[in-house]
Structure 1
């Protein structure tokens, strides 16, 4: 059986459709948002009644609808394929604004907003591996010691990737998704000075040490990753438009997200 035949077989087609829908939606979404930002083309921000309706909203609707549809059809065609497309498109729309949802602020074009692209990249990488058949839970001989080893290594790898993200090493996490030793090594190294890990666990001396390390690393290698991220996500604004909290503790960005 050829690779193409395997991808469109009855048991693989829904996952393949979800993967293709996920990637195409991300490419189309980023193209449209870049055009809106540049003031080109027919597209404009979706504003209704003074409220900016972000594309994560239809994404949530599609993802939930696709999930319920998938359960209802119990793997039967064509419902399984339809629900897979809905989930792929919906998940892509939601994750494209992951940073905004995480911060409850409109950081889409800021440096913090590039976290969304990194999350989409990691999710796409995992989906791609599943589509190609890398699944430690399945096999012709059932669950054995080889599967257990893969599960243990996979759990360690996912933990290392999450720790990289917690330490502010987003680009390393993306590359480390494909090169596990890189993620493991980076997870053990000192965090970026502005990361959540540094704020929670480092004192002033260690923060200064982290800042020195980060500046040295960025001078040597930082422009490579930043150039790729800017190409995909759009160059961040110099001063991100993040509204200050209102007296009630709910910022304008939060109101727009509701």
Structure 2
């Protein structure tokens, strides 16, 4: 992408979306990318391409990535409660929020059933599809004031 197109896209982003709307688009985009990436990575590991332990381990115990998501939300909560105003809608804060939520949602069945059913067949494919469609749909919906103008900025 040329510098001129990038600048036009950046201008439309600032003109069409308020800071809160920008944060929502960034958070949903981060959620979508993280969820898809974690799904792909866990399937790759499960298929025998990753660590022989099947994932992360601490002290000989499997470490679920929802723990990282919970820690991330705790940190974002601390920023919201005690951080400076400029951090509240910062793109990094929004991206971290989306990432943390994706790490938790990816292992939601474990949290609901309180047993490790991550690789159980029942409903896993439909849950994955529903969450991915929700994430993509929300990203599109959150950015509605921007997308048509983005397309125009990139064409010009």
TM-score relative to the length of structure 2: 0.68
Q: What secondary structure, in the 3-state scheme, does the structure 2 residue paired with 1:108 have?
A: coil
Q: What secondary structure, in the 3-state scheme, does the structure 2 residue paired with 1:91 have?
A: helix
Q: Which runs of 5+ in 1 are unaligned?
A: 134-258
Q: Which runs of 5+ in 2 are unaligned?
A: 1-7, 146-156
Q: 1:61 to 1:123 in 2, by over 3 A?
A: farther
- Higher relative contact order, structure no. (Cα contacts within 8 Å, ≥ 6 residues apart): 2
RMSD over aligned CA atoms reads 3.0
Q: 1:118 to 1:65 in 2, by over 3 A?
A: farther
TM-score relative to the length of structure 1: 0.44
Distance (whole Å) between structure 1 residues aligned to residue 65 and residue 35 of structure 2:
11
Determine the structure 1 residue equivalent to 2:3: none
Q: 1:12 to 1:64 in 2, by over 3 A?
A: same
Matches within 5 A, 1:105-144: 105-112=115-122, 114=124, 116-117=127-128, 120-121=131-132, 123-124=134-135, 125-132=137-144
Q: 1:73 to 1:110 in 2, by over 3 A?
A: same
Q: 1:55 to 1:127 in 2, by over 3 A?
A: same
Query: Aligned residues, how many?
Result: 132
State the structure with more CA Rg.
Answer: 1
Distance (whole Å) between structure 2 residues aligned to residue 41 and residue 8 of structure 1:
41
Determine the structure 2 residue equivalent to 1:38: 47
8 Å contact kept, 2:76–2:93: yes
